[in-house]
C-alpha cells in the first residue's frame, strides 16, 4: 500500500493491477476499470486493502505518455534493439521483472492511439494501453528538463522488422529523394457513450476469432454495455444473424473482468468517448479536480465507493442524489434497481446497522425526491 500511496502522492493516476506469471510472459489483470484511475489517497487505500498484492498501473491516455516496451523472451532480445540508438532525450528508463525495459516518453504531435510492433521484441504503446509501474523514482525522471517527445523513429514500425539490425556506424544511408513511409493515424470519431462506441467496431472483424470475441463480450459487460445492445451488434455480422439466442447464453455464462479489451479495440480504430464529469466530494475536498468517466454504471460505482469510504447519513443522502441525477440523464437504472444498489452499499459500509433499515430507506427516498423536486422547479422557472 505504501508504494501505491507514493505514486498517488506524486500525482500519478493509478489503478490496482495484479501480475501473474504464465511461462515466460507476465499477465496483467486490472482490478477495476481504467476510467477510475486516481491519485486520491482515500481511494488508493481502499483499493490496496482489498488487493494488497496489486501493483500500480497508469492508463497512458491520462498522462499523455507513449512507451517503448522492449522484452527478452523466447530467444528474442528486444532490449538489445533499443540500447544502441544513441541519445533519445530525457525520458524514464524502467527495468521490468522479465528483464525487459520500458522507455517512457511524451506523446508526439500525432498521438499513438493503440499499440504496434516496432520490431521483434519491441512494441510501442500509446492511448488505450496500461503501464504497469515498477520504479517510482525512475518514472518521475526527468526532474528538471521536460520529458522528451517519443522520437520519430518510433512513430511507425521499423522498416527492417524481422531482420538483423546493423550498428549505427555501419548502416547504409537511405536512398535519396525517397520519402519515409507514413502510417496515417485513424480519424478520431467522438461518440457519446460506450454503446455507441461499440457500434463503431465492425462485427465482421471478429469473424472466426471466437476467443477475441468472448474477451470483447466480457469487457462490454464490465463497462456496463447492456446484453441486448451487444447481441444487436454481434448479429450485425450476417454470418451470425440468426445466433442471438446463442449469444445471450454466452453472455449469461461469462463473468465481467475489466474493460481493457474494449478500450484497446476502440483506440485501434480511433474511436473516443466524450467524457461525463463526475463530481466526488471526497476528492474535491482534497483538492482534486472532477474526473471523467464514460458510462452510467461507472458513475454509480464511483458513488458507491465514495459512500463506503465515508459511511455517514449525509453521504448516503448525497449518493442518492447522484443516483437520481444519473437516472434523469441516462434513463437508467430503474428506481427499484437504484434503491437496491444503495441499500447494498449501506449494508457493506455498516449504515444498515447504525441507521436501521427504515432510516436507510428514508434517507435514500429523500435524496431521490430532492433531485426530482429541483428538476421540477427548474422546468417551472
Last residue of a domain, one of 214, 243, 273: 273
**Rounded distance, CA 177 to CA 171, Å?**
18
Q: 209 and 113, same structural domain?
A: no
pLDDT at 234 over 80: yes
Per-residue model confidence (pLDDT) at position 373: 59
Per-residue model confidence (pLDDT) at position 366: 84
Question: pLDDT band at residue 360, thresholds of 50, 70 and 90?
Answer: very high
> Which range has the worst mean pLDDT, 122-136, 160-174, 249-263?
160-174
Bridge partner residues of 16 (DSSP) = 56
Q: 210 and 140, same structural domain?
A: no
Q: 93 and 63, same structural domain?
A: yes
Q: 10 and 125, same structural domain?
A: yes
Q: 230 and 333, same structural domain?
A: no
For residue 24, the 8-state DSSP code is: T
Per-residue model confidence (pLDDT) at position 374: 52
Question: pLDDT band at residue 66, thresholds of 50, 70 and 90?
Answer: very high
Q: 343 and 301, same structural domain?
A: yes
**Rounded distance, CA 169 to CA 270, Å?**
38
pTM, two decimals, is 0.45
Per-residue model confidence (pLDDT) at position 165: 38
> Which range has the worst mean pLDDT, 121-130, 159-168, 368-377?
159-168
- As for how many domains the chain has, the answer is 3
Per-residue model confidence (pLDDT) at position 2: 60
Q: 149 and 95, same structural domain?
A: yes
Proportion of the chain in helix, strand, coil states, percent, rounded to 5: 45, 15, 35
pLDDT at 67 over 90: yes
Bridge partner residues of 272 (DSSP) = 190
Last residue of a domain, one of 113, 135, 158: 158
Q: 83 and 18, same structural domain?
A: yes
Domain coverage including residue 231:
189-273
Burial category of 256 from C-beta neighbours within 10 Å (exposed 0-12, middle 13-18, buried 19 and up) = middle
Q: 138 and 77, same structural domain?
A: yes
Q: 146 and 84, same structural domain?
A: yes
Read off the pLDDT of each residue in 272-281 and give the average, rounded to a whole number.
52
Q: Would you say residue 165 lies in a domain?
A: no
**Rounded distance, CA 44 to CA 49, Å?**
9
- Asked if 57 and 134 count as a contact pair (C-beta separation under 8 A), the reply is no
pLDDT at 43 over 70: yes
Q: 321 and 255, same structural domain?
A: no
Q: Would you say residue 237 lies in a domain?
A: yes
- Asked if 341 and 332 count as a contact pair (C-beta separation under 8 A), the reply is no
Amino acid at each position: 500500500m505504501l508504494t501505491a500511496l507514493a505514486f498517488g502522492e506524486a500525482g500519478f493516476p493509478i489503478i490496482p493491477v495484479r501480475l501473474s506469471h504464465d511461462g515466460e510472459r507476465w499477465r496483467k489483470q486490472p482490478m477495476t476499470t481504467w476510467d477510475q484511475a486516481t491519485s486520491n489517497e482515500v481511494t488508493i487505500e481502499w483499493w490496496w486493502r482489498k488487493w494488497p498484492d496489486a501493483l500500480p498501473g497508469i492508463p497512458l491516455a491520462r498522462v499523455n505518455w507513449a512507451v517503448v516496451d522492449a522484452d527478452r523472451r523466447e530467444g528474442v532480445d528486444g532490449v538489445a534493439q533499443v540500447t544502441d540508438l544513441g541519445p533519445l532525450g530525457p525520458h524514464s528508463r524502467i527495468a521490468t521483472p522479465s528483464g525487459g525495459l520500458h522507455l517512457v516518453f511524451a506523446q508526439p504531435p500525432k498521438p499513438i492511439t493503440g499499440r504496434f510492433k516496432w520490431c521483434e521484441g519491441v512494441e510501442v504503446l500509446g492511448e488505450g494501453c496500461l503501464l504497469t509501474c515498477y520504479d517510482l523514482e525512475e518514472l518521475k525522471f526527468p526532474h528538471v528538463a521536460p520529458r522528451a517527445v517519443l522520437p520519430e523513429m518510433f512513430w511507425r514500425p521499423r522498416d527492417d522488422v524481422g531482420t538483423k539490425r546493423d550498428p549505427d556506424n555501419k548502416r547504409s544511408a537511405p536512398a535519396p529523394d525517397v520519402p519515409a513511409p507514413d502510417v496515417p493515424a485513424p480519424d478520431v470519431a467522438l461518440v457519446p457513450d460506450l454503446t455507441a462506441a461499440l457500434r463503431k467496431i465492425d462485427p465482421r472483424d471478429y469473424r472466426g476469432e471466437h476467443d477475441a470475441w468472448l474477451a470483447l463480450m466480457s469487457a462490454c459487460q464490465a463497462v456496463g454495455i447492456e446484453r441486448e445492445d451487444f447481441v444487436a451488434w454481434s448479429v450485425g455480422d450476417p454470418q451470425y444473424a440468426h445466433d442471438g439466442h446463442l449469444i445471450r447464453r454466452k453472455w449469461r455464462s461469462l463473468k465481467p473482468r475489466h474493460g481493457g479489451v474494449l478500450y484497446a479495440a476502440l483506440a485501434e480504430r480511433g474511436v473516443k468517448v466524450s467524457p461525463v464529469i463526475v463530481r466526488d466530494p471526497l476528492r474535491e475536498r482534497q483538492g482534486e479536480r472532477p474526473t471523467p468517466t464514460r458510462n452510467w454504471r461507472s458513475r454509480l460505482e464511483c458513488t458507491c465507493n465514495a459512500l463506503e469510504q465515508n459511511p455517514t447519513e449525509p453521504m448516503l443522502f448525497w449518493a442518492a442524489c447522484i443516483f437520481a441525477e444519473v437516472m434523469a440523464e441516462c434513463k437508467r437504472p430503474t428506481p427499484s434497481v437504484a434503491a437496491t444498489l444503495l441499500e447494498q452499499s449501506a449494508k457493506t459500509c455498516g449504515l444498515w446497522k447504525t441507521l436501521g433499515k427504515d432510516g436507510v430507506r428514508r434517507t435514500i427516498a429523500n435524496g431521490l425526491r430532492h433531485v426530482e423536486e429541483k428538476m421540477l422547479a427548474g422546468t417551472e422557472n
